[in-house]
Amino acid sequence: MKNYPKLILASVLFNVAIASHADYSTHPEAQEFIDTMVTKHQFAREDIVSWLSAAEHQESIVKAMSRPAEKVKPWHEYRKHFISERRINGGVAFWEQNRETLANAERDFGVDQAIIVSIIGVETNYGSNTGSYKVIDALSTLAFDYYTYTDKRESRKRFFTSELENLLLLAREQHQDPVELKGSYAGAMGLGQFMPSSYRHYAVDYDQDQFADIWRNPTDAIASVANYFAEHGWRQGEAVAVRANINQDPAEETVNKLIRPKQTLAELEEQGYKIMQPMAPDTKALPMRFSAKYGNEYWLGMHNFYVISRYNPRTKYAMAVYQLSELIRQRKCVQSNDCPAS
């Protein structure tokens, strides 16, 4: 109770500080950024000042960043959010609407069509929710005002300042107005929710109209997601994950570690895992545990599972993408009567 006045005072001072620097072009934290954009990238100072003056602090972004669904929901609840009849049927419809582009992307990039569809389904429900925040608002808020009183301040500041830098660079490269680009509260953009740095590395102008439009053009968005996976080492035709059983619950430190798979299935079997489908014993995998509604589920994730996690480094995310992709694939083959012979 004795700390309450101090906390209230800190909150008041923080809000006053934000109010006094509502114009990000005059924010103390932004001055080095402005200088960098001018000297490193040869932007006109007046342009940077104008764009930052237009950026607005969004307190709702700070609140949203403190409660991502992955951290607060157990797997069985997290899964329900992304895997539903509506999202499965939406995936089948998106696949049908973009079947030629998806087939071409699989041919050109060597990435499974179902995975591409699933990523777009998980990220934005097939483009229906790409975010309503101005990206420059989100990244300015996160670069200059987020985590002000925490130990993570400097690392978060560096990350979001770099993304703000990349936003202005991509806007110049793509001949877009940086103030008008929309995205999520974290600054992710388009059907596949690319951060600005990912956009600059992986976005593809697949229809060759001089703009890699991942916001409104499914052709460019599909190819961009495929390119991301190709560049991160997707192995076409290989398994993603398999169910497993284990006699004794594994130690916490041995599961859900998103590193490149190192242990073989033979080694994991020696530790008590029982793989529920035949696979080569030298296949490398990651052991995972998920909290289902009535107990734990055990899975082994292969190389391609690890690649999915490069899109979002969380086991629950990668598993949701994988499971949704399989359900979409199954629904599509049943509806089109082209399921492969078992």
**Mean of the per-residue pLDDT values for the chain?**
90
CB hemisphere CA count around 342 (13 angstroms): 2
Mean per-residue pLDDT for 221-236? 98
Q: What whole-number distance in Å separates Cα of residue 304 and Cα of residue 17?
A: 46
Q: What domains, with CATH codes, occur in the chain? A: 13-65+133-202 (1.10.8.350)
CA-closest candidate to residue 185, choices 216, 141, 154, 215: 141
CB 112 within 8 A of CB 106: yes
% the chain with pLDDT above 70: 89
> What DSSP designation does 98 have?
T
Mean per-residue pLDDT for 245-272? 89
Mean per-residue pLDDT for 180-206? 98
69-125: pLDDT as tens digits: 566 788 999 999 999 999 999 999 999 999 999 999 999 999 999 999 999 999 999
Residues annotated catalytic, as ranges? 123
CA distances from 30 to 136, 144, 145, 155 (A): 13, 7, 10, 16
Phi/psi at 133 (nearest 5 deg)?
-80, 145
- Say if residue 67's pLDDT is above 90: no
CA-closest candidate to residue 77, choices 289, 292, 255: 292
Model confidence at 206, in pLDDT bands (50, 70, 90)?
Answer: very high
Model confidence at 198, in pLDDT bands (50, 70, 90)?
Answer: very high
CB 265 within 8 A of CB 285: yes
pTM given for the model: 0.90
4-44: pLDDT as tens digits: 444 444 444 444 444 445 699 999 989 999 999 999 999 99
- What is the number of helices (H) and of strands (E) in the chain? 16, 7
Q: What whole-number distance in Å separates Cα of residue 100 and Cα of residue 16?
A: 54
The three-class DSSP label of residue 205 is coil
